[in-house]
Amino acid sequence: MGTQQQLNEAISGRAENSYGLFAQAGSSTALYGVDFTPDMRWTGSASHEAGRIVDRCRAPFPS
């Protein structure tokens, strides 16, 4: 589940949360990002993703 918001002509931001169901029960991740497009010739973007993965067969994977 996520959203994207256009802040102005050059900048947009996004956020997304994912929750594991069934095979990945207990897993959760979050992603946040920003896109910068000052003109038609180039685009810059940055994002950060963090979370926790639960695998019943192995130890928890830290974020």
Q: How far apart are CA 12 and CA 25, in angstroms?
A: 32
Q: How far apart are CA 46 and CA 53, in angstroms?
A: 23
> Does the pLDDT value for residue 1 go beyond 90?
no
At 10-63, the pLDDT tens digits run 999 999 998 876 655 677 889 999 999 999 899 999 999 998 877 667 666 665
The full 3-state SS of 6-58, as one line of letters, equals: ECCCCEEEEEEEEECCHHHCCCEEEEEEEEEEEECCEEEEEEEEEEEECCCCC
pTM as predicted = 0.65
Q: Are 51 and 29 in contact (CB under 8 A)?
A: yes
Q: Specify the pLDDT at position 31.
A: 94
